[in-house]
Chains A and B, each alone.
Chain A
Amino acid sequence: METLLNDFSPGLFVVSTILMLALIALMVKFAWKPILASLSEREEGIQSALDAAEKAKREMANLQADNQRLLQEARLERETMLKEARELKSKMIADAEAEAKTQANKMIAQAQEAITSEKKAAMAELKSHVAGLSIEIAEKVVRNELSNKDKQLELVESMLGEATLN
């Protein structure tokens, strides 16, 4: 302790105090104040830039969500429209089919009717034609048969023979 006190130099203490005071004052004025001010200014700049980026990111996300929603809505709308169209189409087809069917049936019925009447007419004509023809033939045959006496007799006989057998 005594050596320590002996080593302590009051003169150096005074001189170093003065020098330190001057150094602190000069350093604060010419170095630390501008340095610290610039540093905090820079930090604030960085912070605000980061904040702005974060905000932009959030806005972007919002925008994207909006887009997504719109897209979803559009998709739904398209789907319903498609569905409606499909339904309409099938309904139209069904309607057309039904109409065509009735039309066809009608036409078939008419055709059948026509066919039957034609057939009847044809049948009647054929019948009269056949009757005429057969009378003609019978006339010809009878004429031919009656021209020959023998033959007439022969015929009478055969007919008589047949009649007895029956």
Chain B
Amino acid sequence: MKIVQQSFKFLVLAVLMFSSASISAFNAGGDGGQVSGKQEVEEYIVHHLKDSHDFNLFSYTDDSGERKHFGVALPVILWSSEGLVTFMSSEFHHDDNGQVIVEKDGLKFTKIHSKIYELEKGATAVKFDADHHATNGAKVLDFSITKSVVGILLIGLLMLFWFSRLAKQYKKKQIPTGFGRVLEPLVLYVRDEIARPNIGEKHYRKFTGYLLTVFFFIWILNLAGLTPLGFNVTGQLAVTACLAIFTLIIYTVSGNKDYWMHILWMPGVPIFVKPILAVIELVGAFIIKPFSLLVRLFANISAGHIVLMSLIAIMFTLKESLGVVGATSLSFVLSFFLLLIELLVAFLQAYIFTMLSALFIGMAVAEHDHDHEHDHEISSDVEDVRGDFI
């Protein structure tokens, strides 16, 4: 009986998640008009993947044909050619094609595909070239509180709330109660399975705080991306780049003598190979490693959102050939299973990012013996070093 109840609860939850995901997917944007055709779906997905200047929950067209939006306007903060300019995103009236021009402090701004442009003096409308690029406007530095920033703030506050409460619980008792009991094994998991084995017993304490923050930040934001709020924070290149650069800075700053030796003047190889290897190692350390981190997370999360939205869009695109019921049920089944996979991916990507960060830090702080310095070939040397960490 209990199992039946449990599975029923699960089913309800799944349906709720699905419906909320589908609602969010097709209303997260803010572009006018209903979505039905293939072209529109594609545009919608591209639009969703981008950051948004307002927090729109859903939109609909009422009986009089007027487009209604339901959501919260967010502040726009720009660094224009004449200094700081702020106004609310509602002034764009949900326009994303450069139709609406906002005048502030004598400057004209317009929004095209989630980017804000400052128009040239005297221009009254945006001129587009053949590739739909604005010709008489320039992008401005945009420090707006966008939807992603709101997401980061919300999740950051949530994490602070959860984990500081857990920290407080430990003051009174040895074993946490309630939600802390869920969080504790996760903290232990990151410390014992990610930080400790990859960085090593001696140094891991210093970096565990960063790794824990990154792990929970990415994981919770990935999960938030699957909720009806329609966040796509970990699918923003700027955010993943920021995280990757943190890792880069940490392992560059904490790298010890051995690490720099191995990058700049690889021991155990002929002298004429050393400069070539130094170039390769430098590229690896400063470009390939952070790039692999930032692109992996960005691409996985973006791909997940694209596929999930495309599967939900089956409801509209195959409505004519399969009928309403057929298209909806096909869409439901496919996107339901994809959502389950995405739940796994959400965790997996957080794990991989944290794990690789720990591995890179571990490589930088590892202490190894020097008896292999002169008589080893390069390949076995690299294998040795890698073997120590993996």
Contacts and interface: CB of A to CB of B under 8 A. Distances in A.
B149 A28 contact: no
Nearest to B245: A17
B264 interface: no
A13 B242 contact: yes
Given A16-B148, A23-B217, A27-B213, A35 B242 contact: no
Q: Do most interface residues of chain A lie in helix, strand or loop, or is the interface mixed?
A: helix
A39 interface: yes
B164 interface: yes
A103 to B, nearest CB: 89
Interface in B145-200: 145-146, 148-149, 152-153, 156, 159-160, 163-164, 166-167, 170-171, 174, 184, 187-188, 191
A36 to B, nearest CB: 6
A9 B146 CA distance: 11
A38 interface: yes
A27 to B, nearest CB: 5
Contact of A8 (B146, B149, B238): B238
Interface in B20-67: 50-51
A27 B163 contact: yes
B148 A12 contact: yes
Contacts of B378: none
B285 interface: no
Given A19-B152, A19-B153, A9 B238 contact: yes
A101 interface: no
A20 B247 CA distance: 12
A20 B153 contact: no
Contacts of A33: 209
B149 A15 contact: yes
B286 interface: no
Contacts of B238: 8-13, 16
Contacts of A28: 209-210, 213
A8 B167 contact: no
B160 A11 contact: no
A4 B237 contact: yes
B246 interface: yes
Nearest to B49: A7
A42 B143 contact: no
Interface string B222-245: 000000000000001111011101
A96 interface: no
A39 B176 CA distance: 11
A11 B144 contact: yes
Nearest to B157: A23
A94 interface: no
A11 B213 contact: no
Nearest to A31: B163
A24 interface: yes
27 contacts: A7-B237, A8-B237, A9-B51, A9-B236, A10-B238, A11-B143, A11-B238, A12-B239, A14-B143, A15-B145, A16-B149, A16-B236, A16-B238, A19-B149, A20-B243, A23-B213, A24-B246, A27-B163, A27-B213, A32-B209, A34-B170, A35-B166, A36-B187, A36-B208, A38-B174, A39-B187, A39-B188
Interface of B: 50-51, 79, 115, 141-146, 148-149, 152-153, 156, 159-160, 163-164, 166-167, 170-171, 174, 184, 187-188, 191, 205, 208-210, 212-213, 217, 236-239, 241-243, 245-246
Given A7-B50, A15-B143, A36-B205, 16 more contacts: A6-B115, A7-B237, A11-B238, A15-B145, A16-B149, A16-B239, A19-B149, A19-B153, A20-B217, A20-B243, A23-B159, A27-B159, A27-B163, A30-B167, A35-B166, A35-B167
